[in-house]
Amino acid sequence: MRRFALLIVAAILIAALSVKFNVTSATPFIEFTAAIKSYYLAAVQRIDEWLDAHFNQAEAIERLREENERLKEDRVVLSAFAAEIINLSKLKGYEAPPKFRVKTVRALSYAELPNMRKIIIDYGDLKPTEIKGLIYNNEAAGIVVASIGGYAKALLNGDVECSYAVYIGEEKTPGIAMGKSDNEMIVRYIPAWMNVKEGDEVVTNGLDGIFFAGVKVGKVVKVNRLNAYIEAIIKPYYSAFNPDYFYIVESSD
């Protein structure tokens, strides 16, 4: 009972402080509260694991079984590598596939409430001016855009500042996917002569260096043909409001 009360108090305090401050106006404060929450989440996880090990072994076994199933599903993230390797193998002088590493990161808090598409993640390896892709279950979830001490700010798909290069359909029509609303993105700068239709699948093309090629983004639900170019409205596969764990895909040194 005492532990439950402490959890409630901590959650209320963190929520209140997150509403009062944002990244742009209080970066040191965000870094400080992110560190507190990271430590708090790690402590809670250790307590839960201890309780599972000593009092709830049957429940722990079932939870681990379910987690193993999720990990099996998440391994499809490796299909993003497949498209990249196939493309590189066509280059003259190509000798060996590149090495990759996948880093798991955790969402710690919202960055600028009430906007729930800007979050703070526990990632401290982002270089200045660098942008990295955020992946969930082989789906493009957003981009990591700014370092905040030992943490980073990420923009999820629906955020209007989130953008990355994509291909549409089997003809690999190029465009730039941008956040539009909670459940929609828009692909702009599509050449007017290209054939884009509803139902076409959208994937990252990897040409902007943010994602590797082949990460699934969503499907086209509407096509607007303008004078100079085409715009496509897409429904992204990832549009969750309860961010948890993500992958950041990185090239090895």
pLDDT of 24 above 60: no
Q: Tell me which residue has tokens 């993640």.
A: 121
Note the pLDDT tens digit of each residue in 51-63: 566 555 666 666 6
Which residues are bridge partners to 73 per DSSP?
Answer: none
DSSP state of 126: P
Question: Which domain range does residue 230 map to?
Answer: 1-253
Q: How many domains does the chain have?
A: 1
Listing DSSP states for 206-247 in one string gives -TTSSS-TT-EEEEEEEEEE-SSEEEEEEEES---SS--EEE
pLDDT value of position 253? 47
pTM over 0.95: no
Note the pLDDT tens digit of each residue in 151-192: 999 999 989 999 999 999 999 999 999 999 888 999 999 988
pLDDT value of position 20? 45
DSSP state of 25: T
Note the pLDDT tens digit of each residue in 34-50: 666 665 666 666 666 65
pLDDT of 126 above 60: yes
pLDDT of 230 above 80: yes
What is the chain's Cα-based Rg? 20
pLDDT value of position 245? 85
Listing DSSP states for 35-74 in one string gives HHHHHHHHHHHHHHHHHHHHT-HHHHHHHHHHHHHHHHHH
Among the residue ranges 42-46, 80-84, 109-113, the one predicted with the least confidence is 80-84
